[in-house]
Amino acid sequence: MTISEHLNEFSSGDREDFLSLVNRLRSLSMPAVSPQLTDRILAAVKCEAERDETPSRHFLPSAFSSYRFRKWMSRAAILVLLLALAASILWKSGDPTSPLPNDLDWIASLQEQDGSWSPSRAGGCEAYRPALTALAALALASRDPASDTVQSACRALISMQQNDGSFGQKGRVQSYNQSITAFALAALLPTHNGLRPALEKAVNRIAYEQTQSGGWDYEDGSQGNTALTAWNVRMLSLAERQGIAEARLPLRKGLRWLRNVMHDNGTVVYHRGGQISQSESLRALTAHAFLTAGASFDGLPLLGKRIIRELSSSSSESKPADSYRDYAKVIAFRAAGERTEADTVRKAWHPNAKADTWGEIGGRLYSASLFALADAR
Amino acid sequence: MTRAADPAISDEELMVRVREQNDQDAFAVLVSRHQQNLLNYFVRSGVQYDGEDLVQQTFLRIFRYRNRYVPSAKFTTFLLLVARQVWLDELRKRKRRERGEVPMPEEPVDAPVQQDVSDTQHVENRQDVLRLLETLPDGLRQVIVLGVFEERPYAEIGRILGIPEGTVKSRMFHALARMREFLQNDESGSPMKGKEK
């Protein structure tokens, strides 16, 4: 049966009314598709097809999930427990803030048996365990991406992911954990292809969390904030370059959102329609997103450089220690090709977890990881 | 013109090529043949400005799930089935966001251009029809979109929406009756008048 046949079944009065209604509906004009749509779709499909052809390497060979392996693991667990107990006693006897000759060695020494990092062991907040593990893994990967510590960290990140693709406990901390951890998954993927399923789930989760206007926020009911959106845009750009086709759409929408929070004079706002933010980290992150994630979009790199020009004139020396700000400025200046400016910020930066603005959240692990990451190329 | 672009080759044959050989030329032809219809589907379903994004998502899913395509099935049924899923996902996402959300100004569907009188009437008519469709919940609206605009047989609509053909029929009646009632109220004043008392 079709609508025409169905209309014939009605009484004459109803039939006339409904027929006129149907004709009125059919008069609705439709917008034409944009000329670039076909290319956009085919580019996304090509990306997907290339991904299919990439051979997959898994972290865990099937033997690792065998009964024999699990039995061996349960015995090893007792030994690990004893070692961990001994380590914690030794740890407590030392000073967690004492400087170490090499921050990367210090970060590696804090890795837990399960491959993660516990922020509370270095003065941070435990709720940020996924994000801090991600940052520590990225920092160590800048020295040797194939090292055992990074391999183990990758396995820890996979195990921390929930079925819906999210990381960390529900609430405000989840958005932060999600962005940073997904960013690390995307950055580590080229050397750890076993992360691909976790990254796909994380990207889908981030796409799901995106607001209609294209931003992301910590709170439900908001249309997005610039910091979180910049992180997610940078992550989606990395993921897209790794062949994750699902990243393409949210990336484009995210960039569009970021464009709308920037003023022509190079300043940005934290929320769309809000006051101009004085935060240097916010401006630096936005600039970095335009210069890297927006590199293939007309005009966005120029906007990034415009923000950088405003950033260049401001100095951080007399301001409170802020590893997040300094990290953002170094990577933004580098992305803009402003090496002298980047080196100036880098040299003036002395990680000090106790005085750091984010000390109580991330502790020394946070500042040490960002400090190491700022040197990563 | 590539061989795949030959208009004599059916959608189903093209989709089999995509499924069996990952033939991207064949897929490009399917995209060019159906992207406009798909955009129409989303606009009629209630998308205001992200229609093209949803079209892209639909084609991406079609490609991803190409192995699930059964050659005996009509390609357009498969396409609409996937489009329906994409739309449902979008609705869920919106619903979640709408909880306590402050509405933001949205981008206009049409670019602002200078209009003559006939254009203005055209836009007014368009807005009227969209407003009419907005009176329907998604379950009824989908029956109208697929039955009235797409002119699909009821059995096929049932397959796409996962409901029996008889339900399609009753939903069609209820949708038409509801829109008629809205129009009657609208022509005699605000449809909310009675409720305001």
Four-residue CA torsion sign, A356, A357, A363, A364? negative
- Regarding an ipTM greater than 0.90, the answer is no
pLDDT at site A117:
93
User: What is the per-residue pLDDT across A253-298, written as a single tens digit (0 to 9) for each?
Assistant: 999 999 988 887 778 887 766 677 777 888 899 999 999 988 888 7
Identify the weakest region by mean pLDDT among A300-309, A350-359, B49-58, B172-181: A350-359
In angstroms, the CA B69 to CA A304 distance is 45
Residue B108 burial (C-beta neighbours within 10 Å; 0-12, 13-18, 19+) = exposed
In angstroms, the CA A299 to CA A124 distance is 40
Distances (CA, A) of B107 to A11, A31, A271, B110: 43, 14, 18, 9
**B123 has pLDDT over 80:** no
Residue A19 burial (C-beta neighbours within 10 Å; 0-12, 13-18, 19+) = middle
pLDDT at site B97:
56
pLDDT at site A119:
85
pLDDT at site A221:
66
On chain A, the residues whose CB falls within 8 A of the CB of B101 are 220-221, 223
pLDDT at site B49:
65
Q: A with B: how many residue pairs have Cβ under 8 Å apart?
A: 131
Candidates 2.40.50.180, 3.20.20.70, 1.10.10.10, 1.10.3720.10; CATH matching B119-190: 1.10.10.10
Task: Rank A207-221, A261-275, B123-137 by mean pLDDT and report only the highest.
Answer: A207-221
Q: What does chain A come to in residues?
A: 377
Contact of A244 with A258, CB cutoff 8 Å = no
**A57 has pLDDT over 60:** no
Q: What mean pLDDT comes out for the span B99-109?
A: 33
What does the buried/exposed string (b/e) look like for B110-132 if buried means 16 or more CB atoms within 10 Å of the residue's CB? Answer: eeeeeeeeeeeeeeeebeebeeb
pLDDT at site A344:
87
| pLDDT > 70 in chain A, percent | 78
Fold of B7-102: Rna Polymerase Sigma Factor; Chain: A (1.10.1740)
- For chain A, how far is it from start to end, CA to CA, in angstroms? 65
DSSP codes, B44-98: HHT-SS-HHHHHHHHHHHHHHTGGG--TTS-HHHHHHHHHHHHHHHHHHHHHHHH
Residue type, A116: S
β-pair partners for A269:
A276
To the nearest whole Å, the CA of B161 is away from the closest chain A CA by 16
What residues of chain A, 45 to 84, have a C-beta less than 8 Å from chain B?
A: 45-46, 48-49, 52
Identify the weakest region by mean pLDDT among A94-103, B34-43, B160-169, B179-188: A94-103
User: What is the per-residue pLDDT across B63-75, written as a single tens digit (0 to 9) for each?
Assistant: 988 888 887 778 9
Q: Do A45 and B101 touch (CB under 8 A)?
A: no
Residue A41 near chain B (CB below 8 Å): yes
Instruction: For residue B100, give the nearest of A21, A31, A220 by CB distance.
Output: A220
Residue A20: CB atoms within 10 Å: 12
**B192 has pLDDT over 50:** no
Q: What does chain B come to in residues?
A: 197
Among the listed residues A270, A284, A279, A269, the one whose alpha carbon sits nearest the alpha carbon of residue A335: A284
In angstroms, the CA B157 to CA B172 distance is 11
Q: Do A1 and B154 touch (CB under 8 A)?
A: yes
Contact of B141 with B133, CB cutoff 8 Å = yes
Among the listed residues A319, A305, A304, the one whose alpha carbon sits nearest the alpha carbon of residue A356: A319
pLDDT at site B195:
35
Residue A239 burial (C-beta neighbours within 10 Å; 0-12, 13-18, 19+) = buried
Contact of A185 with A175, CB cutoff 8 Å = no
Spans of all domains in chain B: 7-102, 119-190
Disruptive mutation site among A5, A41, A260 for chain B (greatest number of B CBs within 10 Å): A41
On chain A, the residues whose CB falls within 8 A of the CB of B122 are 29
Instruction: For residue A221, give the nearest of B24, B100, B148 by CB distance.
Output: B100
Q: Do B24 and A46 touch (CB under 8 A)?
A: yes
Confidence of residue A229 (pLDDT cuts 50, 70, 90): very high
Confidence of residue A70 (pLDDT cuts 50, 70, 90): low
| pLDDT > 90 in chain B, percent | 43
pLDDT at site A276:
73
Q: Do A44 and B56 touch (CB under 8 A)?
A: yes
Q: What mean pLDDT comes out for the span B142-159?
A: 93
pLDDT at site B174:
93
Q: What mean pLDDT comes out for the span A181-201?
A: 94
Task: State chain A's mean pLDDT as an integer.
Answer: 81
To the nearest whole Å, the CA of B68 is away from the closest chain A CA by 16
Disruptive mutation site among B20, B97, B132 for chain A (greatest number of A CBs within 10 Å): B97
Contact of B110 with B123, CB cutoff 8 Å = yes
Please tell me which residue, A365 or B96, carries the higher pLDDT value: A365
To the nearest whole Å, the CA of B197 is away from the closest chain A CA by 29
Contact of A269 with A277, CB cutoff 8 Å = yes
Instruction: For residue A6, give the nearest of B28, B55, B172 by CB distance.
Output: B172
Which letter does DSSP use for residue B148 in this model?
I
B65 in the Ramachandran plot: left (φ > 0), alpha (ψ -120 to 50) or beta? alpha
Contact of B99 with A221, CB cutoff 8 Å = yes
User: What is the per-residue pLDDT across A76-125, written as a single tens digit (0 to 9) for each?
Assistant: 766 766 666 555 544 443 344 444 446 888 899 989 999 999 887 777 78
pLDDT at site A346:
83
Confidence of residue B155 (pLDDT cuts 50, 70, 90): very high
In angstroms, the CA B4 to CA B26 distance is 5
Q: What mean pLDDT comes out for the span A174-187?
A: 93
